[in-house]
Amino acid sequence: MLSLFLIAAAAASPLPADPLAAIRPPCGAAYAGRLASTDAADADMAGKPLIMHVRVCDGAEVQIPFHVGEDRSRTWFLSAVDGGYRLKHRHRHADGSLDERTLYGGDSVGAATPLPGGGWRVEFPVDAHSKQMFAAQGIPQSMTNVWSVEYVPGRQWVYQLARPGRLFRVEFDLTAQVTPPPAPWGDEGAVNR
């Protein structure tokens, strides 16, 4: 019996030291982005500075605030889960309180997919919790959301939302860091790590 346990233990692959390495830019860094989609729903973002800040990296979770001009309401949460990844979105008001539409997202189906020419892409179909929230809030079109991130080390990191009739895509230039922005609303007392 002991030998079967040892064989099973040897066959199990240990968690990598950094399970998010395939999709996480360098911790602490901030980068400028550009709106790469032309959906009319995002017209208010056109011309505003778009900054991502890889602000918190704790083991199997990364928090990336996404600033749109002076709007510091959005944070993306990436985490490693059983053989894949999870993406959640937190939205706060300027006073730090949570928006009613927050903590939505999904889990990847499988591991990261290699991109032609290097890098990785992960897709996150909307999860059951998010579908229930979207239905309750009267936005059934969001029940088909698929988010994705693409990471080409040293070159580009991309956030995308896609569904029938909707595409939102922001491409961040990893070749030049920018000054990290202020903390997201509600996180002013938290420490970067």
* Res 188: pLDDT: 87
Q: Which residue pairs from 94-101 have beta carbons closer than 8 angstroms and sit at least 24 positions apart in sequence? A: 94/185, 95/185, 96/185, 96/186, 96/187, 96/188, 97/186, 98/186, 99/73, 100/137, 101/133, 101/137
Domain boundaries, the chain: 19-177
Mean pLDDT for each 10-residue chunk of the chain (193 residues)?
A: 34 56 92 96 93 91 97 97 93 96 94 89 97 97 97 96 97 97 90 60
* Res 191: pLDDT: 62
* Res 92: pLDDT: 98
Instruction: Kindly report the CATH number that applies to the domain delimited by 19-177.
Output: 2.40.128
Question: Tokens 């922001």 appear where?
Answer: 170
* Res 11: pLDDT: 35
Q: Which residues contact 74 (CB under 8 A, 6 or more apart)?
A: 65, 66, 67, 68, 89, 90, 91, 184
* Res 33: pLDDT: 98
Contact between 80 and 20 under an 8 Å Cβ cutoff? The reply is yes
